[in-house]
Structure 1
Amino acid sequence: MAVVVVADIAAGSSVGLLPMTALGPAFAGLAGGWRRTALVGLLAVAVCCGLGIYDGLFEERRGFTAVASVVGVTVAALTAAIARQRREAELASVRSIAEVAQRVLLRPVPRSAGHLRVAVSYTSAVAEARIGGDLYEVVASPAGVRVIIGDVQGKGLAAVEIAAAILGAFREAAYDEPDLRGVGERIQRTAERTVDAEKFVTAVIAEIRPGAGATVMNYGHPAPMLVAADGGVSFPEPPEYAVPLGLGTGLTDSPTPFPVPMEPGDQMLLYTDGVTETRNKAGNFYPLEKSAPLLRAADPDEALEALRTDLVQHAGEPLHDDAAMLLLRYRDRTAPGGPGSASHDQ
């Protein structure tokens, strides 16, 4: 508006710059609140009237037309500002509900579970999204530490609903069932009731007991990555592949539990396909096996964060799919921060 005033005085009344003072309330309505828009609008009307008197435009219709234009734009800007503020308030409410849903669905995993140290990372493919179709959980049960990681096919609220049902079934079964096969059967029954014909869920469930290694069941999910204490990397494959959950096969196509050796100093990374299917600009998939040395950091959270950062840098842009990672580190009971160390068990 200051530029309009200077230009009008310099150019004279013949140019007709008075209506351009309406740019002030127009831009204020885009960025500011309704009070600020109203103040800028009043200032614009005052400036327009002042220039009109200076130019002698109120002796003809041009002056009144210019003032009417500024008043009209101010009213429109006020309406837009009020509507925008209401939408922003509704969005803030929705985000608050989403944060509560996140804490219920993907609640923070314990840093310590039995003889394991645990770290988790979740990167959403949707900007500012908190939850999606990826799921994970860690439960320290009487039978050992039981974990699940899974990926619901598709996105949106339907995927979130299915993920919530699968997690609810796992959390209950992990405490109740004496063996891992029973946990898997409970999850399968829930999937058959919950997952519709157009979706499915890939998942890995595992049970890790001290001195007995891990037992794994794989429902069509990427194989976990086992990093040995000496740096060796392997991807334990099931003896027979099973179909994902929710494809209508019932319990007749359950995966066979298979053992995975896991000793002190070893660590297991469970992940969703959003990790291994991330491509860089050249079209190359993320080299997870070559990135295993990033997990050598003493703190598992720092190790997993280094891996997540490397994944994002490999993509060079926002991820196109959700990426969840769950790191389980078999710790030495005699090492600082072991089960007898209270500082890491809180």
Structure 2
Amino acid sequence: MSQRPEEPRPRWALVAIPIMWIVAVSVIDILAPPDIHLGPLLVAAPAITPSFGGPRTVGLVAALAVVAQTLIGVIRDPDELLSANHEAQIIALILVGVSLVVFCVVRERRATELTQVRYVSEAAQRVVLPPLPRRLGPLRASALYLAAEAEARIGGDLYAAARTTSGTRLIVGDVRGKGLGAVNDAALLLGAFRVAAHRQAGLGELVTYLDRSVCWDLMEPGETGRFGETFITATIMDIPDRNGPVQMISCGHPPPVVLRDGRPTTMHARHPAPPLGLGELAHPRYDVASFAFEPGDLLLLYTDGVTEARDATGAFYPLTDRITGWSERDPDAFLHRFRRDLLRHVGGHLNDDAAMIVVERPALPRE
């Protein structure tokens, strides 16, 4: 059930400002010479109230301003009760007050809608992209997802992990396109990965199954128009529990980075495969690459929203240059620093979704 957010509680120190303004203007106007009229300044009181108060507070301040203007007219013109000038000012205050109250009601309605959108998007993210376990066997892991849209918390970037009898399988990917279609494609691929990753099949067989799953979905009724136009870049890898090389198949995705003693090394695949969803067109052979992942190393997997993030001059985020020399070994601490650094580079707003996974193979205890 949706819950309507309560009207923000105004800070009484701020509410006192428009009230004091009403009192000050009223006293000065009453004491001023007859040819000086300060009543129009009363409109400033309700005008500033929406910046810290809701409809009730604005309505209260507007009513006080109308009462003050009425008292000024009665005191200054006791014989005529209210002059035409004071009546016009009272009508103007009433119109301004009603307009401001309506504005506050519309603003609260909009805030309620945004709250519901965020709630739904967060719920969808928890279903499609549940948090990675902090422990993957002997490995420690953490994941970060940064959505480009303020109202949305999920898009076409994806990641997941699955345990096998000998290690951990990881996938990180990026769906071409945006919106609900991208979310649907991401959910499809993640579902297929979770079903098949636990099997003892080789990495090449797993990627073949994932590619066919994407292709089968695109051949469903109503989806055939997207065949050949929708695809998913991805990196799928096996990380053994014991010391040994990581096996990896890259399907058109940015290469992972291994950070060892503050020195990053990019792990390029010698023969990358085409993105998932294009297998029926390209008929690829999946070559498995391997690289060392030693105790004390950090393994970084990410989407192109990271490396294609631009600063005010249009320069891309230089991932390996920025993380050179970083001493953080805890995945959470690394991602906390990375988040601050990336957002500082782009000026606080991303133009594309970005995701990163950090995996640590803990250093062996010293004997």
Matched position secondary structure for 1:69: helix
Residue matched to 1:133: 156
Matched position secondary structure for 2:287: coil
Residue matched to 1:28: 49
Q: Map of 1:307-346 to 2, 5 A cutoff? A: 307-332=338-363, 334=365
Q: Map of 1:73-222 to 2, 5 A cutoff? A: 73-127=96-150, 129-142=152-165, 144-176=167-199, 178-192=201-215, 193-194=217-218, 196=226, 198-209=229-240, 210-222=242-254
The question of whether the paired residues in 2 share the 8 Å contact of 1:188 and 1:250 is answered with no
Residue matched to 1:249: 280
- Which range is displaced more, 133-142 or 326-335? 326-335
Q: 1:2 to 1:132 in 2, by over 3 A?
A: farther
% identity of equivalent residues: 38
Residue matched to 1:225: 257
- Paired letter, 1:68: I
The question of whether the paired residues in 2 share the 8 Å contact of 1:177 and 1:183 is answered with no
The question of whether the paired residues in 1 share the 8 Å contact of 2:125 and 2:153 is answered with yes
The question of whether the paired residues in 2 share the 8 Å contact of 1:226 and 1:234 is answered with yes
Q: C-alpha separation between the residues in 2 aligned to 1:107 and 1:295?
A: 28
Q: C-alpha separation between the residues in 1 aligned to 2:27 and 2:285?
A: 79
Q: C-alpha separation between the residues in 1 aligned to 2:231 and 2:35?
A: 71
Q: 1:282 to 1:66 in 2, by over 3 A?
A: closer
Structure 2 gaps of 5+ residues are 1-21
Q: C-alpha separation between the residues in 1 aligned to 2:345 and 2:94?
A: 53
Q: 1:4 to 1:289 in 2, by over 3 A?
A: same
- Paired letter, 1:34: P
Match for 2:321 among 277, 280, 290?
290
- Paired letter, 2:154: I
Q: C-alpha separation between the residues in 2 aligned to 1:62 and 1:219?
A: 76
Structure 1 position 254, deviation (Å): 5.3
Structure 1 position 250, deviation (Å): 5.5
- Paired letter, 1:224: P
Q: C-alpha separation between the residues in 2 aligned to 1:14 and 1:133?
A: 68
CA-to-aligned-CA distance 1:264-322 (integer Å, 9 cap, x gap): 33332111122222344454433333344445433232233333433334444433333
- Which range is displaced more, 110-119 or 56-65? 56-65
Structure 1 gaps of 5+ residues are 337-346
> TM-score, length-normalised on structure 2?
0.79
Q: C-alpha separation between the residues in 2 aligned to 1:59 and 1:239?
A: 89
The alignment's C-alpha RMSD in Å is: 3.0
The question of whether the paired residues in 2 share the 8 Å contact of 1:114 and 1:144 is answered with yes
- Which range is displaced more, 85-94 or 259-268? 259-268
Matched position secondary structure for 1:175: coil
